Amino acid sequence: MNSKNHTNQIQLITYIDRLSGGKINNLHQMLQGPLAGLFDGVHLLPFYPPIDGEDAGFDPTNHTAVDSRLGNWDDIRTLAADFPVMADMIVNHMSAQSPQFLDVLEHGEKSPYWPLFLTKDTVFGEGATAEQISAVYRPRPTPFFTDIALKDGRKVPFWTTFTANQIDIDVNSAAGKAYLNAILERFTENGVKYIRLDAAGYAIKKAGTRCFMLPETFEFIAALSERAKARGMVCLVEIHGYHQTQIEIAKRCDMVYDFALPPLVLHTLFSRNAEALKHWLDIAPRNCITVLDTHDGIGIVDAADYQGQPGLLTDPELDTLVETIHKNSKGSSKLATGSAANNVDLYQVNCSFYDALGQNDQQYLLARAIQLFCPGISQIYYAGLLAMENDVELLQKSRVGRDIGRPYLTADKVENALQKPVVKALCQLIKLRRSLQAFNGKFSQTLNNDQYQLCWQHEAHTASLEISLASLQATIHWQHGGQQAESLSLNSL
């Protein structure tokens, strides 16, 4: 890792094969070649077998293995020596095709892995009331129990938060703890620096509760983070939810995502009003990862109200936001969102960020400039880096909504995309951001009528992003120590 402040970094988020067109070493070469000088680290989305499962690697059959089509752990370790690696730790579930679950199907309660998996009875005992069932928070409209037949013919209701192919783990059982420890051990052995705790908010289930972000969930996250920290790793907690919950989580772990930022940036650009964004940046956790897009959709719940508590945006503002995204994408996002697609989510819109802004280069660069000036580590998704449009063809082929923003690219496609003016300008912005020592210092912001300013200062180093909201014109100003001040208009890029 370079000598920068821990939070003054820019990381790439990517699937290995979908960006490089091949293996881990192909991605490594790309980071050192056409993408050289852009990133301080890389978040490798699930590289465990099977990378082409029902949920694009988030349904691992073996969480301690590398899918052989991508390479092996030696390749991960080699990459990590040059670019600190973030890997996903999928704490909530594993594949129904895993050897452990297949053994359960074969041997039932006699399997040593029986305690590894959650059933309805594990949580509710022999009887669950309708009230208890209705209290459970559902991220998707599918049932959270799936009746699965054992070899002896009995059907057991296993807990399946996301899909029937993703069987929830009992993280409090001895088998569950051993499973998670084995993953931590493998990461430690192979130089993984950052761990992203996927779906951690659902990991603890308790009868009579929402089974989401309970006090015990906070305790689980804190304990797992401490175990990772003892091994020299940093934990990022991935949870979509109410913004105040994110603030509370941030107090108990190393890092959280700023999932509220994407809808707030879009709202700012659509409405030419930065009040909601400024309010959030006044109170947002500083130990965060900022994103505009990821392998998932654009979160809506993160800016919404919750049980009578006000959100960062009102319901009418969120409705306008969603409809504007659909309009800007010429309806393609609607094909991938809600009941129009399988694997549907209730809390996000599936759309590339470039299409969400109607492929408007000026607004897209401004959105990225805002992200780069927000506190925290900036993560840039591979499709966002290359200003990719919605992949409607892939969506129609897979019928998985989120695939609209998960294109498969070849080295040639990447080279071509890097020649687009908007991508060249974004790369220039990223390199400028990485060169400025001001970002090692303190953040401040001002909003006066039409003028919104994001500022950084570290000793005699300064940097600011000045935005005219009425015209969405923006200029970056910076000064290195006592050197002459410089400026750059985003519209000139």
What is the tens place of the pLDDT at every residue in 122-164? 999 888 888 998 899 887 777 889 999 999 999 999 999 999 9
| 198 noted as active-site residue | yes
Could you identify the residue written with the tokens 């949920």? 55
Report how far residue 489's alpha carbon sits from residue 470's, in angstroms, rounded to the nearest whole number.
16
Q: Could you give the percent of the chain with pLDDT greater than 90? A: 84
Which is catalytic among the residues 75, 88, 168, 238? 238
CA distances (Å), origin 417, targets 34, 116, 384, 412, 429 = 11, 45, 11, 9, 16
Q: Could you give the percent of the chain with pLDDT greater than 70? A: 97
Report how far residue 432's alpha carbon sits from residue 429's, in angstroms, rounded to the nearest whole number.
5
User: Can you name the residues that pair with 451 across neighbouring β-strands?
Assistant: 448, 468
Q: Using an 8 Å Cβ cutoff, are 30 and 62 in contact?
A: no
pTM: 0.94
| CA-angle at 217, arms to 60 and 339, nearest 5° | 55
| 319 noted as active-site residue | no
Burial 93-102 (b: 16+ CB within 10 A, else e): bbbbbbebbe
For the cut 80, the answer to whether the pLDDT of residue 234 exceeds it is yes
Residue 342 is predicted with a pLDDT of 41
Which contiguous run of DSSP H or E holds residue 276? helix 275-283
Which is catalytic among the residues 198, 296, 361, 391? 198
Average pLDDT score over residue span 49-54? 92
Q: Taken in order 59, 65, 69, 70, is the CA torsion positive or negative?
A: positive
For the cut 90, the answer to whether the pLDDT of residue 394 exceeds it is yes
Which contiguous run of DSSP H or E holds residue 383? helix 382-385
For the cut 90, the answer to whether the pLDDT of residue 285 exceeds it is yes
Residue 3 is predicted with a pLDDT of 38
What is the tens place of the pLDDT at every residue in 153-192? 999 999 999 999 999 999 999 999 999 999 999 999 999 9
3-state secondary structure 59-116: CCCCCCCCCCCCCCHHHHHHHHHHCCEEEEEECCEEECCCHHHHHHHHHHHHCCCHHH
Average pLDDT score over residue span 20-31? 96
